[in-house]
Amino acid sequence: MVVVEEKRSRPHPGIGGRHALVVGLGTTGVAVARYLRTQGASVRVSDPAKGAALPDDLTDVERRESSSPDDVLDGIDLVVPSPGVPASAPLLVRAEERGIPVVSEIELAAANLDAPMVAVTGTNGKSTTTELIAHLLEEQGSRTFAGGNLGTPLIEALRGSWDVAVVEVSSFQLEWVDAFRPRVGLLLNVTEDHLDRHGNLETYTAVKARLFARQEEDDVAVLNRDDPRVAALASGLAGAVVTFGSTPLEGDGAEPRGGAIHVSFRGRRSVFSLERCPLEGAHNRENVMAAILAAISMGASDAAVQAGLESFTPLPHRMQEVHTVHGVRFVDDSKATNVGALMRSLEGLEDGRVVLVAGGKDKGSDFDLARVIVGRKARCVALYGSARELIERSWEGAAPLVVREHFEDAVQAAADAAEPGDVVLLSPACASFDQFDNYAARGDAFATLVRMPR
């Protein structure tokens, strides 16, 4: 059984008059620095990458870069790290040793947020589920903030007035939470990902489970009963547990039957048709079930949920068809940055008719896990990037492999290998950061390449 891990208690500090250090100058760090200034804090910033520039409205903020953590921490009584800065970073380790509170952005934001919160975590499906929940609640008429790891930091919600905040939460963000308490928390699945940061699957699971650590009995925990690691958490949670999955439902939750989702929740029985829902595939069926349960937990009517399911627009770079030519479909699944996501995407495709493009920057993944399904689904695989030789060793003999250093050459090789009726699928199972700024840039490059005249 997985135990919900709690970090040692660290009282949430006030903001006004504090001497705060913001670590990291990405989107989140900049938003935090702005917020702290508006609340009367003295703000210092430090960027471990030392490459990010301060925006014009923060040029008067103190910036301190030093190889000595003590120099950077001198005079500081609050540290707010960006999600990309690991807990093992010397600066954060030294802050802990000195007893300086380290508070994540989502913790800081949630403590000052007036609206109830729905928080979504999991290895795969977080963004789609977050956006779908927000859409269903908007159909109900709620003023809904949607953000977090999805794009807009939760701290930005403090600038508006909302009925509910729907937040995507990553494992990186959960490393520094203590009092974070969502009204509804969702854990969609747990598969190998970010092991280069968390070390092993057990630690990664425990960090994910921290989402529920401060829930109380009037809160709701939405769990995937088909995922053994997720289902094992149910008996240790304080909130009311509702589950989704294809295995038989016991108690409150959701299950698929035919072309519909059947829901039982606190004596309420509902049926939602998927006939006009644009989200396809088994993995999206799970996302839909989870989103329905969250929306109902927040009071959405059956009519609003059904209307939202039919009017939702899927997010880009997630099994998105970007081109069709000579009977070959080109599908951008660049958001599939881990092995589990690749496997889930392949499940819905025809055996032997996939030409797969995979590779990029490894995150400590076990590519052997996908060997069987790659062998069944892929007629050819084009590998690229810094992880190409690692993946080649794992999949050699499972399917014909073409290995190229550069992304564009791998895409060209895949297009050349495709025959009418095939799907050329970009589902990398890796991060993009060896050759691209992010997964979206990689997906956009794929779409541009496959649309070029041949």
Residues annotated catalytic, as ranges: 126, 149, 194
Residue indicated by tokens 């809160």? 219
Question: Angle, nearest 10°, between helix axes 339-347 and 282-297?
Answer: 110
Let me know: does 287 contact 128? Beta carbons within 8 Å: yes
User: What angle, 0 to 180 degrees and rounded to 10, lies between the N-to-C axes of helices 126-139 and 302-311?
Assistant: 130
The torsion angle over the Cα atoms of residues 277, 280, 286 and 292, rounded to 10 degrees, is: -10
Distance, in Å, from the CA atom of 61 to the CA atom of 54, rounded to the nearest integer, reads 9
- Compute the C-alpha angle 93/112/78, nearest 5°: 25
Query: The sheet that has 164-168: what strands, in order across it?
Result: 144-148, 164-168, 117-121, 184-187, 220-224, 240-244, 253-257, 260-265, 268-273
How many Å apart are CA 144 and CA 136, to the nearest integer? 10
Torsion sign, CA atoms 319, 322, 325, 330: negative
User: What is the β-pairing status of strands 164-168 and 117-121?
Assistant: parallel
- Give the span between the Cα atoms of 273 and 308, in whole angstroms: 11
Q: How far is CA 75 from CA 19, 45, 68, 262, 376, in A?
A: 7, 13, 14, 57, 60
* Residue 90: how many other CB atoms lie within 10 Å: 12
Cα of first residue to Cα of last residue in the chain, in angstroms, is: 54
Side-chain half-sphere exposure of 296, counting CA atoms within 13 A: 28
CA 383 to chain centre: 24
Q: Give CA–CA dist 279/80, Å, rounded.
A: 37
Q: How far apart are CA 189 and CA 122, in angstroms?
A: 5
Residue 431, both tokens: 């991060």
Question: Can you say how many angstroms the Cα of residue 204 is from the centroid of all Cα atoms in its chain?
Answer: 13
Question: Residue 79 carries which side chain, given as an amino acid letter?
Answer: V
- H or E element in which residue 330 lies: strand 328-332
| Phi, psi dihedral angles at 104 (to 5 degrees) | -75, 160
